[in-house]
Amino acid sequence: MNLLQSKTKEVAQSIVPIVIFVGILSMAFVRVDFPIVQRFFIASILVFVGLAIFLWGIDQAMEPIGYQMAHEIATSKGLTKVIVLSFILGYLVTIAEPDILILANQVESASGGSLNANFLVQMISIGVGLMIALGAVRILSGFKYNMMMFAVYAIIFVLGMKVSEEFLAISVDASGATTGALTTPFVLAISVGLSKIKGGKSSEEDSFGMVGAMSAGPIIAVMLISIISGQSHIHGEAEVFTTSNQVLAPFLTGFKEDFLESITALLPITVLFFVYNFVKFKMKRNEIIGIVRGLVYTLIGLTLFLVGANTGFMDMGRVLGTNLANEYLNILPFIGLILGMLVVLAEPAVLVLGQQVEDVTEGNIKNSTLRMTLSIGVGLAVALSMIKIMVPSVRLWFFLLPGFAIAIALSFFVDPIFVGIAFDSGGVASGPMSATFVMAFAQGVADSIPTADVLKDGFGIIAMIAMTPVLSIMILGTINKIQVLRTSSVEATDTEHSELLQLCTADREPDMDLHELIYCVINRGYSDEVIDLARSVGAGGATILRGRDARSGTWLSASLDMEKEKEIIWLIVDSDLTKKVVRTLLDASEKQDSHILSIFALPITRVDGIPTNNLELTEPLMKEKEIEA
């Protein structure tokens, strides 16, 4: 029960902010019919309870299944078996993903039936299966993730130049919809399992990236539909949006449909697992009971979540988008910013990814840090999407092309683990909440603006939500890399300083009158500044030696072979002041505008006020003295 309580607390922290925000908008700023408001709050309760139970079930069922299947893939002797099994897993877990069904139905409705939902689901699932197979081969072969993604997105960029804006928007939205509440935990479990079984130095960074690779498959698949079929534009009239005036009836109707969809989502992968368990895994009875119990919880939680999201959240999102566009058009980007920041925190896959990132990195990357970065990124994505809908000349690729290009470029600089996390983050951020509430909100806005088109502008927002987290996590990784480099530099400098100070303050015989001669080489003309700096921490006088070609050059400066643009300062200080003076000069030498080139120190003793022992100062040197001690 402690696990359930923990999941409940996480979900409450995620759901409550968006419920409050939407409640304020619907009751204080725009007029929303009371039945819709009632359904939204009922749906919020269902989403809250459903998510908590769903995540509880995921821990008990889907993750163990994913690890077992990952073990089967990793221990396969032939490459063909690895590819085939990976493809089947990816295909089966995607073909029944509720988010894909939602998106496909929305595309069919918006296109007036010109794009068939079932055909779209099949093509998307094939794309996902192929990319998961490619991702599994990459992990087992040790191929660099950033190189693979560079090649994949290079193909996407080329294909993107050949398709219309409608197909571009749908393809990248399909990418985000694949990373739903069911597929993401399962695929994450596969990638973590493969990396652990493979082992090696790169096991931590290999734990991430499979979700990001998976989400690239649907983009290529949908674009190929356009290229192969020769259909450059989608023709069709969107269906008229209507809402129900009833409160409870839509939930009762939706429960039956979503329950069947949830069974369909879980059944294929469950059957595959039990077949493998009977033939090969042969898990213990108590382990099987735990998995079955987890599957039941997953089914119940997923059903409740989908009922709440589909019945209450989508209607509220569409109505809010329509009314806000009519009454508050100028501040829509600001509203989108807040909405995006809150919605991503309610995504179940974000919770799963955040916890796995913290576990795999042993707490170096905190769950809270990752979620806050994603929240900012998704907020900007929704805000920019509002601008795209409002301004006809702004196109989707204006944001996607440079965004992914910069992310790919940064992938060659940041630590490898950030690359996988970044692309996984882009996938998990665009989950059920985005596919329902946010997309409905965007379609409502597009439907209310005369210059916008529901098919062109109503889609594409999931793509933006999938892109900005990738870029924001890459930026987070870049900042982390810079901090690491700076820390390493400071630590190295501190080590050098410490060694020098130890040499300067080495143990002396206790019966001597001990002093130190500090020898400092500087650029010509800055002696007074350095001497004043040394005096500020207790030093007395100093001797200045100038370069031999200067007018004041002497036989000593010539014998030292000093360059004319350099000067040497000799400081004689008590041994107990040496460390303080040297530390001050060392710190000053680290500044960019410092003129201190090098520092040395030698031990000396005084006999009747004359320095002797390790270094004897003769009469000519005493004539060089310009500042009396």
Q: What is the pTM of this model?
A: 0.62
Is pLDDT above 80 for 624?
no
Percent of the chain exceeding pLDDT 70 equals 77
d(CA 444, CA 594) in angstroms, rounded, equals 61
State the pLDDT at residue 204: 67
Q: Kindly indicate the confidence band of residue 622, based on its pLDDT and cuts at 50, 70 and 90.
A: very low
DSSP bridge partners of 569: 520, 544
Q: Kindly indicate the confidence band of residue 618, based on its pLDDT and cuts at 50, 70 and 90.
A: very low
Q: Which residues contact 467 (CB under 8 A, 6 or more apart)?
A: 172, 381, 399, 400, 403, 404, 407, 426
Q: Which residues contact 364 (CB under 8 A, 6 or more apart)?
A: none
Percent of the chain exceeding pLDDT 90 equals 0
Q: What angle do CA 444, 447, 451 make, to 5 degrees?
A: 135
Domains and CATH numbers, the chain: 2-235+246-489 (no CATH), 506-624 (3.30.70.120)
Q: Kindly indicate the confidence band of residue 4, based on its pLDDT and cuts at 50, 70 and 90.
A: low
30-34, 45-49, 461-465, 589-593: which range is least confident on average?
589-593
pLDDT digits (tens, 9 = 90+) for 460-478: 787 788 787 788 778 877 8
State the pLDDT at residue 556: 45
Query: Around Cβ 364, how many Cβ atoms within 10 Å?
Result: 12
324-338, 395-409, 555-569: which range is least confident on average?
555-569
d(CA 514, CA 603) in angstroms, rounded, equals 7
The full DSSP string for 501-540 is: HHHHT----TTS-EEEEEEEEEETT-HHHHHHHHHTTT--
Closest CA to 416 of 209, 152, 192: 209
**Which of 12-16, 60-64, 176-180 shows the highest mean pLDDT?**
60-64
Is 145:138 a contact under the CB 8 Å cutoff? Answer: yes
Amino acid at the residue 326: N
d(CA 103, CA 433) in angstroms, rounded, equals 12
Is 596:588 a contact under the CB 8 Å cutoff? Answer: yes
d(CA 239, CA 225) in angstroms, rounded, equals 23
Amino acid at the residue 370: L
Is pLDDT above 70 for 40?
yes
Q: Kindly indicate the confidence band of residue 508, based on its pLDDT and cuts at 50, 70 and 90.
A: very low
Is 481:413 a contact under the CB 8 Å cutoff? Answer: yes
Tell me, letter by letter, the H, E, C secondary structure of 77-119: CCHHHHHHHHHHHHHHHHHCCHHHHHHHHHHHHHCCCCCCHHH
**Which of 104-113, 317-326, 614-623 shows the highest mean pLDDT?**
317-326
| Average pLDDT of every residue of the chain | 75
70-74, 157-161, 424-428: which range is least confident on average?
424-428
Q: Kindly indicate the confidence band of residue 181, based on its pLDDT and cuts at 50, 70 and 90.
A: low
Q: Kindly indicate the confidence band of residue 557, based on its pLDDT and cuts at 50, 70 and 90.
A: very low
State the pLDDT at residue 612: 47
Provide the token pair at 250.
């839509």
The full DSSP string for 394-447 is: --THHHHHHHHHHHHHHTTTS-HHHHHHHHHHHHHHSSHHIIIIIHHHHHHHHH
State the pLDDT at residue 433: 66
Is pLDDT above 80 for 592?
no
